[in-house]
Amino acid sequence: MDRTKIIAWLSLLLAGCGHPAAIVVGSKNFTEQVLLGEILAQQIERRLHVPVERKLDLGGTMLAHEALVKGDIDLYPEYTGTARAAVLQDSSSADGGKALAEVRAEYRKRWRLDWLPPLGFDNTFAMMVRREEKAGNLSEAAAERAWRLGVGYEFEQRRDGLDGLRAAYGLRLDGTPVTMDLGLLYAALGSGKVDMIAANSTDGLASALPVKILADDRHYFPSYECAVVAREETLGKFPRLRGALEELSGKISNERMQRLNYAVDGLHRPAAEVAAEFLRSVAEGR
């Protein structure tokens, strides 16, 4: 064998002995996202046995989206309603199936990003008040009085957020909305700093605290089905990745997501521990 062939053979041998590239899992900056990111990371480690780098708690929607487009992360969990309103700037209404089809087509065309089948829950916005309040839906609340409102940082700017909500219901506010981290909303409601919050339907604390969701009787908020969004390039590079992630599709109901969130927010258990327990239950068919 001549010297050129020997060098080529050694190069191939060394390349084959190298460590596989890491898959980078991202998430936004609230409990549910961090927990889902950890679930995805552990599922990949468990099923593919490749290194996984975690870039969890990145920030808001656009920060996570831009990281995915640039290739700083390979995948993260996203919501159909958020994708349509915040990323695609589409304020039209659409049911769950239509919304998923629209974002799947647009993400693939614009950025070569793939939406996998949904995980099973719909985390829509939920306007919450203390349980003793008389109003049962948003129309009743709007007619009753002005409200001191607490919101997360995105809610005031989003097309499916505050301005549209006020227009849909004629909701009156007592002063300027108080913006804060999502994790602080329930404490602010409980202490009386605010008397209505823009929270989420799968919040764990909502199932344990004396609060109630005001029914969206005019169906203002769109569907927010949660699914994994991944780079097509990454799915091609790791052929077994899609199947491993799709094993989680349809496995998380709204009630199950509430319990998972409460384990972290209410019981103060580490997200990694809660994720591992969830994946064990999935593997056992529970």
pLDDT greater than 80 at residue 82: yes
The pLDDT value given to residue 158: 79
What are the residue boundaries of the structural domains of the chain, listed by start?
Answer: 3-122+225-283, 125-213
CA pair distance 90, 76, nearest whole angstrom: 21
What's the rounded mean pLDDT across residues 46-55?
97
* Contact call for residues 32 and 257 (beta carbons, < 8 A): yes
Residue owning tokens 């339907």: 201
* Contact call for residues 264 and 31 (beta carbons, < 8 A): yes
pLDDT greater than 80 at residue 216: yes
pLDDT greater than 70 at residue 18: no
Q: Supply angle C-alpha 91, 147, 197, rounded to 5.
A: 60
pLDDT greater than 50 at residue 50: yes
| pLDDT level of residue 90 (50, 70, 90 thresholds) | confident
Give 261: exposed, middle or buried? Use CB within 10 Å, 0-12, 13-18, 19+. Answer: buried
Give the pLDDT confidence of 134-181 residue by residue, as tens digits.
999 999 999 999 999 999 988 988 777 899 999 999 999 999 999 998
What is the share, in percent, of the chain residues with pLDDT greater than 70?
92
**Which CATH superfamily groups domain 125-213?**
Osmoprotection protein (prox); domain 2 (3.40.190.120)
Distances in whole angstroms, Cα of residue 57 to Cα of each of 14, 20, 190, 283? 36, 25, 25, 27
CATH topology of domain 3-122+225-283: D-Maltodextrin-Binding Protein; domain 2 (3.40.190)
The pLDDT value given to residue 154: 83
Q: Which residues contact 60 (CB under 8 A, 6 or more apart)?
A: 28, 29, 153, 154
The pLDDT value given to residue 97: 83
Q: What is the mean pLDDT of the chain?
A: 91
The structure tokens listed for 42 are: 């552990």
pTM, rounded to two decimals: 0.79
The pLDDT value given to residue 16: 43
What is the share, in percent, of the chain residues with pLDDT greater than 90?
77
What's the rounded mean pLDDT across residues 196-206?
93
Give the pLDDT confidence of 217-272 residue by residue, as tens digits.
998 988 899 999 999 999 999 999 999 999 999 999 999 999 999 999 889 999 99
pLDDT greater than 50 at residue 11: no
| Same fold flag, 3-122+225-283 and 125-213 | yes
The pLDDT value given to residue 127: 97
What's the rounded mean pLDDT across residues 101-107?
96
| Residue, of 103 and 20, whose pLDDT is higher | 103
